[in-house]
Amino acid sequence: LRTGRGSAHAKVILFGEHAVVHGAPAVALPIDGLGVCATARLLDDVDDVEGSAAPAASDVERRPGESTIVTDVYSGPLDGAPELLESPRAVILACLEEFGLSGSGVEVTVTGEVPHARGLGSSAAVAGAIVRALADLAGAELSQELYLDLVGVGEKVAHGAPSGLDAHATAAAEPIIFEAGVARVLPHRTRAVIVVADSGVAGRTRRAVASVTSFLERHPLRGPALMAGLGALAQQGALDLAQGRPEQLGAKMAEAQGMLRELGVSSPELDRIVDAAVGAGAYGAKLTGGGQGGCVIALAADDEAARRVATAMRLAGAVATWQHRLEGSSS
Ligand code: MEV
């Protein structure tokens, strides 16, 4: 039985969320310790390899030629999938069409550790893993451009007008700076630890993006100034990352948090976790991703400092924390 496999990983945005939607640069880091895997198999060519596989997990309810999705929230025909799976469903349908698999009856299984709606790029990571698995199943060439287009189909369903940053970041192996639809790998010489803390409150990227647009309409001077300020922090932060200046990087994260708060995309829960991280000795901390919920990132000097910061963030309400070491690259 033919099977295809694909994976993608979480990301954090170090600088530039929201401003990137309005053309400013942004810096994102891959979090390869948090991944999503997808497998895809053809259900309707069982005759090729007799008796080789157990029935599909979702096979029971399936009509011939119908595709199915298997996840921890729902397993069954694609057409009956709940709203939560609207984005992966759209990606699967686009891939089936693109790779000439329409009507073949494909089962796509998605497993992963990236929490949903926490600003860590779960929708782009799920989409990326699915695109790779279906391209692998079809034996199709997958250019970067086609990959991004297909992930973009899901991102549009997930949050309206995505900048493309998440699609790039969840596929990148190195930190990137992203501007005007183009991502460049960032050389980085910073040794520090990023602590990611989940506030336990679902982020609402679509709503947060809309509230920034409304801020820009209501504040024709201050709005663009904040966009430019966040963009400048991304440019300068990229230099700090390249030159190995974690203290300066942390100070810029704190500045960015102040601007994001003014734009209305932070929340009391996020502010409390940010303050706790800084109080416990982090160089700086800020929300990451869409905000109004989701995750906070803090920059700590080393593993020991990161443990202290993580404990403080949990005491301030975080329901889970992850640590990600910045090692610096050779370039
Ligand atoms: C979401 O992870 C990042 C935002 O900037 C939206 C986008 O870039 O599409 C809030």
> pLDDT by residue for the chain (331 residues), tens digit each?
689 999 999 999 999 999 999 999 999 999 988 999 999 999 875 444 444 444 555 555 678 889 999 999 999 999 999 999 999 999 999 999 999 998 889 999 999 989 888 999 999 999 999 999 999 999 999 999 999 999 999 999 988 889 999 999 999 999 999 999 999 999 889 999 999 999 999 988 889 999 999 999 999 999 999 999 999 999 999 999 999 999 999 999 999 999 999 999 999 999 999 999 999 999 999 999 999 999 999 999 999 999 999 999 999 999 999 999 998 775 5
Alpha-carbon gap, residue 38 to 316, rounded angstroms: 35
Query: Quick one: pLDDT at residue 186?
Result: 95
User: Which residue out of 79, 136, 166, 302 is catalytically annotated?
Assistant: 166
Q: Could you tell me if residue 140 is inside a domain?
A: yes
Is residue 211 exposed (0-12), middle (13-18) or buried (19+ Cβ within 10 Å)?
middle
Q: Could you tell me if residue 331 is inside a domain?
A: no
Last-in-domain residue among 113, 144, 178: 178
**Å from CA of 26 to ligand 1 middle:** 10
Query: Quick one: pLDDT at residue 63?
Result: 82
Residue nearest to atom 8 of ligand 1 (CA): 163
Query: Quick one: pLDDT at residue 184?
Result: 96
- What is the complex's ipTM, to 2 decimals? 0.98
Same domain, 202 and 145: no
Query: Quick one: pLDDT at residue 57?
Result: 58
Whether 166 is catalytic is yes
Residue 291 alpha carbon, nearest atom of ligand 1: 10
Same domain, 145 and 20: yes
pTM over 0.90: yes
Closest CA to 27 of 35, 16, 37: 16
Mutate which of 15, 20, 114, 288 for ligand 1? The one with the most ligand atoms within 8 Å of its CB, which is 20
Number of domains within the chain? 2
Beta bridge partners of 195: 298, 323
Ligand 1 residue neighbourhood (C-beta within 6 Å): 13, 17-18, 20-21, 119, 162-163, 165-166, 205, 209, 289-290
Mutate which of 13, 148, 206 for ligand 1? The one with the most ligand atoms within 8 Å of its CB, which is 13
Query: Quick one: pLDDT at residue 164?
Result: 95
Alpha-carbon gap, residue 27 to 235, rounded angstroms: 8
Q: What is the pLDDT of residues 93-107, one digit of tens each?
A: 999 999 999 888 999
**Percent of the chain whose predicted confidence (pLDDT) is above 70:** 94
Query: Quick one: pLDDT at residue 327?
Result: 87
Q: What CATH number has the domain bearing residue 92?
A: 3.30.230.10
At how many degrees (to 10) do helices 144-159 and 122-138 cross? 140
End-to-end CA distance of the chain: 42
Block residue for tokens 């999705």: 69
**Å from CA of 65 to ligand 1 middle:** 36
Same domain, 87 and 220: no
- Cβ atoms of residues 285 and 298 within 8 Å: yes
Last-in-domain residue among 178, 199, 222: 178
Residue 205 alpha carbon, nearest atom of ligand 1: 10
- Domain that residue 157 falls in: 3-178
Residue 33, classed as helix, strand or coil, is strand
Alpha-carbon gap, residue 235 to 231, rounded angstroms: 6
Query: Quick one: pLDDT at residue 45?
Result: 59
Q: What CATH number has the domain bearing residue 206?
A: 3.30.70.890
Last-in-domain residue among 178, 207, 241: 178
Q: Could you tell me if residue 123 is inside a domain?
A: yes
Residue nearest to atom 10 of ligand 1 (CA): 290
